[in-house]
Structure 1
Amino acid sequence: MKQKALDKTPDKLRNPSDLQVRFRTGVIYTAATVICVLAGNIPMVLMLMVVAGICAGEFFYMLRSDAKLPNEMLGIIAAVLYPLSVYIAGLAGAMLVSLALLLALLVWYVFWLRARIPDVGVSFFGAAYTGLLLCGLVIIRVSLPAPWGGVCVLLLFLSVWANDAFAYLVGSKIGRHKLAPRTSPKKSWEGFIAGLVGSVIFWCLMTLVPGITMAIPQSIVFGIISGCMGVLGDLAESRIKRNSGFKDSGTIMPGHGGLLDRSDSLFLTSITAAILLIAGGCIPYALF
């Protein structure tokens, strides 16, 4: 069956270029994200749990190459539980997961003599970095009635993707001044500014979502802050890869690398967006 399918495949598709592979993978990733976000609270939470688990696994895999010995099992379990706990119990749920993780890591540290304090720190950081930060999306999703919570989250995703796309297109064409040459040599200040424009565009569109109380000037400021945090998240993951000697965090997404490579900007953006929207009185959400 595989041979018959291959025989019917056009020649130009049998050996796709890197760009074709990257495009196809991006389409599948984007379609899956849009469907899960708009389908409802539970599908989106399940998607975030999967993303958190895979990203945590890639994170711990890289750190092992940097002479660290994290507890992958505890870290991945906690990362997966963070979005679910916030959906069920709000911020109190995240606190319970954090306390349980810390207690479990202390027990592991006491009884497994090879473990060091840096290993405990890396295990806790990995879970919080890949799981806790994504909880901002859950907070935004549940704060608004259906389907507007999903629309708002989708616009936030689009702001992150626009930030990356605008930065790449402009930076590759006219980028001359390096943003962080030692951490990410390909990023430029020209691309950085263009990325902020892309982020602001979709933040301005959020003002049209029913249930969100946000003026255009406020959305511009929030879009700039959110865009900056997305770039910071990207640079942070680049620094982790550089220190660990990795070009990509994994191979689960052909043409793109690992899932952590695609989600690095989303981590800080999601939690920053939730804080800005709540602190600015833009969405109704009770912290506890």
Structure 2
Amino acid sequence: MQEKRETRQQQRDRLKRKALEKTPKKLKNPSDLQVRFRTGAVYTAVTVLCVLAGDIPMVLMLMAVAGICAGEFFYMLRSDAKLPNEMLGIIAAVLYPLSVYLAGLVGALLVNLALLLALLVWYVFWLRARIPDVGVSFFGAAYTGLLLCGLIVIRVSLPDPWGGVAVLLLFLSVWANDAFAYLVGSKIGRHKLAPRTSPKKSWEGFFAGLVGSVLFWCLMTLVPGVTMSIVQAVVFGILSGCMGVLGDLAESRIKRNSGFKDSGTIMPGHGGLLDRSDSLFLTSITAAILMVAGGCIPYAVF
């Protein structure tokens, strides 16, 4: 395992050197903040473009996100002495958004059943597999793929372009939650939220993040087709904001248990895509449940 890590690091170093040789002088040696800003700008631009472009581009984007995040998740768990079936887990994670788009919640149920059956066959015939490995394989696929399907539910419930606008506002609520929490927490944060799991998070930042989440949920009341009062928006913004923080802490716990600082290196300055999406997973499914159960969007469950 150590040799594989060293080989990957050497490959990354070679790619960085080649990229640096072709980089204009004025862009060389950027600060960590500059790298983080550029990566974030590209991520934001791609997300906004795919969300607003239509159903298919957004579904394809979510399939890519689910597959990459699943790969990063399973890579970390292998370092924690787990042996997940990465192929089945990644395939299922990618299929979740597509299945919900094509067949609704029935599609997700079919993917669940197919994944469970495939994992049982794998467990029976591959003697090195253990029950925890089956559980990790199923959890990884559901965590990175199934939870994102809340965005599909919201998107298809409203006509274009308003479905995309509602989803974009949900993305903005997640980003605002993270940004407000970071800005306030780094300045006046004194009381630790979860010192053993994520030492940098504070209660001051937590409450500031909820304010950012609520602001964009209130804007969602203005989207045509969304039937939501300001009171509902405030409550939903607080609940989804809490779920976003829980998702962030859950991923931090996974990384800490596996001995990783970042889930990957695909996003320079940010780490892995899973590091950027951890808050989105629980937020998206929570938002969809709240909006459907609250009668805010016209979605037929079955």
- TM-score w.r.t. the length of structure 2 is 0.93
Secondary structure of 1:208's match? Answer: coil
- Report what 1:18 is aligned to: 32
- Report what 2:111 is aligned to: 97
Q: Are 1:233 and 2:247 matched, yes or no?
A: yes
Counterparts of 1:3 and 1:173, CA distance in 2? 34
Q: Are 1:198 and 2:212 matched, yes or no?
A: yes
Counterparts of 1:153 and 1:34, CA distance in 2? 10
Matches within 5 A, 1:1-288: 6=23, 9-11=24-26, 13-288=27-302
Counterparts of 1:10 and 1:110, CA distance in 2? 58
Q: Identity across aligned pairs (percent)? A: 88
Q: Which amino acid aligns with 2:133?
A: D
Q: Is the 2:55–2:156 Cα contact (8 Å) retained in structure 1?
A: yes
* Unpaired runs of at least 5, structure 1: none
Counterparts of 1:270 and 1:35, CA distance in 2? 18
Counterparts of 1:2 and 1:266, CA distance in 2? 31
Counterparts of 1:94 and 1:218, CA distance in 2? 28
Q: Which amino acid aligns with 1:102?
A: L
Secondary structure of 1:115's match? Answer: coil
Counterparts of 2:279 and 2:210, CA distance in 1? 13
User: By how many angstroms is 1:123 displaced?
Assistant: 0.1
- Deviation per CA, 1:246-277, whole angstroms, max 9, x where unpaired? 00000000000000000000000000000000
User: By how many angstroms is 1:10 displaced?
Assistant: 4.0
User: By how many angstroms is 1:197 displaced?
Assistant: 0.1
- TM-score w.r.t. the length of structure 1 is 0.97
- Deviation per CA, 1:130-177, whole angstroms, max 9, x where unpaired? 000000000000000000000000000000000000000000000000
Secondary structure of 1:182's match? Answer: coil
C-alpha change, 1:239 and 1:210, in structure 2 (3 Å) is same
* Unpaired runs of at least 5, structure 2: 1-17
Q: Which amino acid aligns with 1:152?
A: A
Q: How many residues align?
A: 285
User: By how many angstroms is 1:78 displaced?
Assistant: 0.1
Counterparts of 1:206 and 1:87, CA distance in 2? 22
Secondary structure of 1:90's match? Answer: helix
Secondary structure of 1:161's match? Answer: helix
| RMSD, aligned α-carbons | 1.2
